[in-house]
Structure 1
């Protein structure tokens, strides 16, 4: 007995009607008549044996089953569109990697190195999307993920292989002008770092996703800092880097994410204390065998990371 399969037209009508909560607006989007959308939904409900919508005074509303199935349909259609466009673009050659990634690491570290990938593997295309937390690969269209976290966090991610890339060394950075004022030096001497107690007297920039970052840094340095939780909160390292370069305060940022700002002198390392190493960067892949494109991308990325940090090991 064959498994019943809905048509893509029926799924498209469901997805559009679910978004708009209206057959009429779905019909306008899909260039169909309202009756055609209604017939597609009725046929889909008959195939499934489950009502997907219920009539209301203002139109239609999803049932619980319809809401669940519409979310799945939206994902299926997106994957189908992406796969179709990918095949059309590549004409069957090479391959692609759909990568979920933490944003600043992708922008500041990986993207500048992609020309190297293009030279070695010109037939591989990498697509980027932002994800900052673990997820189930079976519920997404991602082939791999770049993740920043601890070994424990990665070890608790079910159904994956995790390839260690590099440590995330966190150091305090600020503008040279702010550091000069803190050390009572002339601006030309601003690159000289100060001791940890001096950092406690400067305005601090907080990362909203790591709200205890400064508190942990001062504790590791053995410094009492009553104002460790004070200061504006920003979500991304790139936001912190911009704010720090404008002299708004000191930020805790991995140097590998601000290489250009450090090279241009817009930011300087404010304190010579040992960097903190609570997290690392990992390439996370599903347990099932990798596609040839993902396998080559993985080997290239690990080699590129070894050029930045030669310690560490793979986790299985």
Structure 2
């Protein structure tokens, strides 16, 4: 079977998204009759009916709407690939999805060493807070926190994260408090780790119970909230080094820092590894914590 024509596919995707042939004609800078011809051609090429007949409005069948969504994803991938080719025709770019706080505090300060070793590689970074589909996003690899459970990927462990509850001195006038007292203080939550506080209390041997409190989408925001005395934040040690040293944040409890997960570099397993990614992975292996240099 021959592939349908690209203009016809674009017309179908636009119709599904915009809802009318008039809007499609305006977006594609075509006449309505040209749009109709494109859609009729597509039906002929596919050998299937795409529209619900019997009314004046063009309405896609349920199967055609599913097909249009696939077309949309494919067109997006083609656009991203074309953009990447224009920006880097030699293949020396690495498109990396990063976690904002870990990327800025841990990765970026180390990147000058990578650029000195590999000046031919350009590292492009985009923030993503949650796992995504490598098939649908134009990334070669991503930074991931938790466990190496991202499907269909390989991984390299970078750093085990340790956390401890921290608060501004004004919230702890008498120093660290008991677990029961801590549970009654306002607790600040990170949206990407909704069970973090519960896991920390369990690690201390105490069932957590209800843990109400404000939530934030990034550690940079929760760090500022803790500094301004809005509550107790369960912060990674690597992120709070300066604040703890300056005394602007203090431990809210005497417990030693605990680990609730680790950071990983992950990359798709269903494609070949580009040379830029191979160089980056090998360099990151040199940056990983010694305790994490285990079989991967």
**TM-score of the two chains, using structure 1 as the length reference:** 0.79
CA distance in 2, matches of 1:58, 1:257: 60
CA distance in 1, matches of 2:187, 2:69: 42
Query: How far did residue 253 of structure 1 move?
Result: 1.8
Query: How far did residue 250 of structure 1 move?
Result: 0.3
Q: Does 1:119 align with 2:101?
A: no
Change (3 A) 1:225 1:19: closer
Which residue number corresponds to residue 190 of structure 1?
Answer: none
Matches within 5 A, 1:164-243: 164-179=157-172, 181-183=173-175, 193=176, 196-223=179-206, 229-243=211-225
CA distance in 1, matches of 2:227, 2:189: 14
**TM-score of the two chains, using structure 2 as the length reference:** 0.84
After superposition, the C-alpha distances for 1:67-122 in whole angstroms (9 at most, x for unaligned) are 222222222222222222222223x2242233344443334433444444333333
Change (3 A) 1:13 1:107: farther
Decide which of 264, 281, 288 is 1:298's aligned counterpart.
Answer: 281
CA RMSD of the aligned region, Å?
Answer: 2.9
Decide which of 21, 24, 34 is 2:22's aligned counterpart.
Answer: 24
User: Residues 196 and 273 of structure 1 are in contact (CA less than 8 Å); yes or no, is this contact kept in structure 2?
Assistant: no
CA distance in 2, matches of 1:21, 1:77: 18
Unaligned runs of 5+ in 1: 184-192
Query: How far did residue 292 of structure 1 move?
Result: 0.6
After superposition, the C-alpha distances for 1:42-71 in whole angstroms (9 at most, x for unaligned) are 222221223334358573333222222222
User: Residues 81 and 138 of structure 2 are in contact (CA less than 8 Å); yes or no, is this contact kept in structure 1?
Assistant: no
Structure 1 residue ranges (4+ consecutive) displaced by more than 6 angstroms after TM superposition: none
Unaligned runs of 5+ in 2: none
User: Residues 171 and 275 of structure 1 are in contact (CA less than 8 Å); yes or no, is this contact kept in structure 2?
Assistant: yes
Aligned to 1:54, the other structure's residue is in SS state coil
State which drifts further: 96-105 or 243-252.
Answer: 96-105
Matches within 5 A, 1:1-316: 3-54=1-52, 59-90=57-88, 92-122=89-119, 123-130=121-128, 132-133=130-131, 135=133, 137-150=134-147, 154=148, 156-179=149-172, 181-183=173-175, 193=176, 196-223=179-206, 229-259=211-241, 261-262=243-244, 266-287=248-269, 288-304=271-287, 306=288, 309-313=289-293, 316=296
